[in-house]
Structure 1
Amino acid sequence: MIRITLEINRKCNLRCNYCYITEKNDEEMSWETAKNSVEFAINKIKDMNHTKRVIRIDFLGGEPLLSFDLIRRVVEYSRKRGEKEKVKFNYALTTNGTIFDKELLDFFVENKFSLKISLDGNPDINDMDRKTITGAGSYYLVEKNLQYIKEYERRTDKLVQVSSVLTHNNYKSYYSTLKFFVEQLGVKYIDLGFNSNEIWGESEIRKITKIFEEIILYFINCAGTPNEFVFGFLEDKIKGIDNIYRPYSCGAGILSFYISYSGNYFLCPASLKDEYCLGDVNAKHSETDFMKLIKKAYGMKRVQNKKCQLCKMEPYCTVKGCFINNLLENNSIIVPSNSLCTRKKLFGEIIKKYYFEIKDIKKKFAYIAI
């Protein structure tokens, strides 16, 4: 499968403190660039001779729903091209949840979208970092649209993911935030990420690890009850124990690409500096030196640094191959991020403690299917 993330615009009706797109210039991806992005993905899957001819398009912004007409054109165009090339297209979209109506609902249902809503917690927690252009809080703009989310889940049997960003000013409240999602909003699929603009020290990570353990115990207690839920962050950590990973495991730059509104493509949203550009979908056969480096690294059979080689978690570790975080922190693709390394070890110890209980729950309850 090939996955492309389309930065469909740099427009947004919010001004979140941690957004990785710091410059909201109201630009929108041109139709030519959007078409070329679809063709880029088709060519990739043909060149790699994939047996599973599936392309996933993730729509991202800015706020992508401010460019809904363009999204609709991309879906229509990719469907037609998919029929001709015998390629199946899947679609996903991340939204701040403030823009929703029945037309959007029907479109997402008809085209079997996977949906992610960004929300950091209750009004007090959410509105610390997720504000409108005028500086007002955004929570109640999202709350009024939760009816559409519930209707989408009912009509599709697919769960909508509610995802939060942990920051220095909200992480201590995350256990109560997760309970708020489950018990007050009825959310069934929850995930989180860390604010990459902030430095996470070991003391903070240890505090988060304790919160993580509280959440696991809550997850176990909720299993088989009306409050059962999927915790994406936990799912990822379980996979990290169940699988053995090669040095470069995520596939960014090989199997997945982040395509900016201009047509330049990158590994992921964390790598949007010019020096990390891989190429341009609008220029045929364009490939930068950085792209050549990624291709070379993808072929590595064993991690190339002693620290990882001596670590007992190395076979199960994805951190060793997060090249962009390694570059940003250590200016080297093979020297792992200290922060990510600490997280992996501490979270790994907690997962091992409850591993068999969690696996037993996953066997018993079908709700895990997302």
Structure 2
Amino acid sequence: MHKFTLFGSRIVYDVASGSVHVVDELTWRILDYWPAASREEIGAKLGQEYSREEIEEAVRELEELKKEGLLLAEDQAPAALHLRQQSVVKALCLHVAHDCNLRCRYCFAGTGPFGGDRTLMKEETGRQAIDFLLKASGKRQQVEIDFFGGEPLLNFPVVKNLVAYGKEAAAAAGKKIKFTLTTNALLLTEEIERWLNEEEMAVVLSLDGRPEVHDRMRPRLDGSGSYQRTVDHILRFVNSRNQENYYVRGTFTGLQPDFAADVIYMADLGIKHLSVEPVVGAPEEDYALKEEHLPQLLAEYERLTEEFLRRQETGQPFTFFHFNLDLTGGPCLAKRLSGCGAGHEYLACDPEGNLYPCHQFVGNKDFWLGTVDTGVEKPELVQRFQEAHVFNKQKCQNCWARYLCSGGCHASNYHSHGHLLEPYEMGCALEKKRLECAIYIQLKTAGLV
């Protein structure tokens, strides 16, 4: 189990059952010794501050919770690994453009081309990719495609034609495709907006926050800032669809560790669905996050939690992606063990039709899987990703968050340590803090703290 305090509340999270308990000071202190120590031993340690009756009653309540499977529950997950069904591909990140109209400093795609040539996907390649997905998805009736780049709107005519083709091909196969488009919004015209809305397509838009923060990291080709055009287009777009079916996503860096200010700034603009992600950069980069930033970053999540709850109470709510947590049901066991499914359930396709485990591995020859024409040619690489679950990650074995974070991002782990099974420490620390804040928000919203 995991004990933590937040805003004066003492909270206990039971790892195996997912149960959450708010406890008083006596129970909190007893949990430092129980269940290893007997009631008599606990009484000897705490007897000068609490009566025997108080201690025994608190221990009885803990034992009852344990009996009900709500505390120190038996962990069924390891034994359930063999129940996982054979993976099928259910989502494809379609790189329709390996080019971009921005030159973001932290871009993992090398400002667009992913280490190769600046190029756009041909429609025929995109059709082959859709055919591959529909076939590789087996009996799944719903699959997903994310139009990605670079900047996918540089290739908008192909995107438009591929959606029409995908809907027709999926219907013929007895399936449906959910489409998403990720864009920096600079090319987002009113005509494109209308089409996206008519297609009811989910959209992820990039904005880092305050003007000076955004312009420092996301300049145009000529070095000028992109903030004003970006924010004008984003606000027009989100209002055109009644604030539904989108996320505005930012990236925070070591140059702006006070990232909560950027989330609050964007919420003040009227953006309702927000996410900001920590940058992953080489240590020598001036924008990289370092261990020295960690205390402030953790404090920023607490600051954001307070503001999130305040705005809920005052009728000005916004959604923050990392505070979305379902404590009652949540993802299935296989999802909690393996995470995003990169490399076996989720693949990326470059403009030439080459397949990779996810968008962050595109261009890395060591992670080439095959092509949309030939299919997956490296089943041993697929197996590596299937086996990169929390029980094969030594540092995850005793981590309280293992069933909530699934061992972290494969790409971040690989880029920081050169190995899928070695978690990225900074990412772990930030994820655990986000989870504590999300748990607190659930309790606060339910009136339990």
> Are 1:319 and 1:344, in contact at CA under 8 Å, matched by a contact in 2?
no
TM-score by length of 2: 0.71
For the pair 1:336 / 2:420, whether they are aligned, the reply is no
User: Which of structures 1 and 2 has the larger relative contact order (alpha carbons within 8 angstroms, sep 6+)?
Assistant: 1
Paired residue for 2:266? 181
Q: Cα offset for 1:358?
A: 4.3
C-alpha contact 2:178 2:201 (8 A) present in aligned 1: yes
Pairwise CA distance, 1:359: 5.5
Rounded to whole Å, the distance in 2 between the matches of 1:324 and 1:146 is: 28
Partner of 1:365: none
Please tell me the root mean square deviation across aligned C-alpha atoms, in Å.
2.6
**Identity fraction in percent:** 22
Matched, 1:207 2:296: yes
Q: CA deviation at 1:319?
A: 2.2
Q: What is aligned with 2:339?
A: 249
Closer, same or farther: CA 190–293 of 1 in aligned 2, 3 Å: same
**Which residue of the partner structure matches residue 40 of structure 1?**
132
Structure-2 separation of matches of 1:326 and 1:143: 32
Q: Secondary structure at the match of 2:98?
A: coil
Among candidates 305, 309, 317, match of residue 405 of structure 2: 317
Cα distance between partner residues in 2 of 1:149 and 1:82: 28
2-structure distance, mates of 1:166, 1:336: 20
TM-aligned CA deviation for residue 277 of structure 1: 1.6
Go from structure 1 to structure 2 and tell me whether the alpha carbon gap of 1:83 and 1:351 turns closer, same or farther (over 3 Å shift).
closer
TM-score normalised by structure 1 residue count: 0.85
1:280 aligns with 2:371: yes
Q: Partner letter of residue 218 of structure 1?
A: E
Please list, as runs of the form range in 1=range in 2, the aligned pairs for 1:1-370 lying within 5 A after superposition.
2-22=90-110, 24=113, 25-46=117-138, 49-50=139-140, 53-154=141-242, 158-172=244-258, 174-183=259-268, 185-199=269-283, 200-235=289-324, 246-272=336-362, 273-282=364-373, 284-288=374-378, 291-295=379-383, 297-298=385-386, 303-319=391-407, 322-358=409-445
SS at 2:338's partner residue?
Answer: coil
8 Å contact from structure 1 (residues 238, 351) kept in 2: no
| Partner AA of 1:188 in structure 2 | K
Deviates more, 1:202-211 or 1:239-248: 239-248
CA displacement at 1:242 relative to structure 2: 5.2
Give the unaligned 5+ runs of structure 1.
362-370
Shift of 1:31: 1.8
CA distance in 2, matches of 1:347, 1:30: 40
**Corresponding position of 1:364:** none
Give structure 2 stretches of 5+ with no counterpart: 1-88, 284-288
* Cα gap change, 1:15 to 1:359, in 2 (>3 Å): farther
In the aligned structure 2, how far is the partner of 1:345 from the partner of 1:97?
32
Shift of 1:347: 3.3
* Contact preservation (8 Å) 1:247, 1:302: yes
Q: 1:303 to 1:182 in 2, by over 3 A?
A: same
Which structure is larger by alpha-carbon Rg, 1 or 2? 2
